[in-house]
Structure 1
């Protein structure tokens, strides 16, 4: 019982400010108009929203180059007509 209590105390956050910021971000992102948002999309969107200082440093050219060098799922063939 003491071991379990110690584990619980160790895992408790020292400050609730981070948790409160995360829930505030989720409240701003997931409004009643966007309540059908998938979990993966919400998780990714919140990561960008919370780390917006880092995301602001990424240029659109970097994103385009990243997608351009990635593999494609569809392969297109030219057909002679």
Structure 2
């Protein structure tokens, strides 16, 4: 996955994933921060994610990293 493809994925997914996380934690700013952090982590591990995406035919990781950052967000309060 190159940078353009990743940007396209980010653009296509950011709002939806942020809304899902906002529903979980109730803080829109914190949800956006968590999603941004998840995408930074995803970019750092893009080769492994691309391999997994090819095997599964989708990108289920989008919700997994954000659900892992949500508990950390609630601990910061």
Q: Which one has more relative contact order, counting CA pairs under 8 Å at least 6 apart? A: 2
Shared fold per TM-score greater than 0.5: no
TM-score, normalised to structure 1, is 0.31
TM norm structure 2: 0.33
Bigger helix fraction:
2
Larger Rg: 1
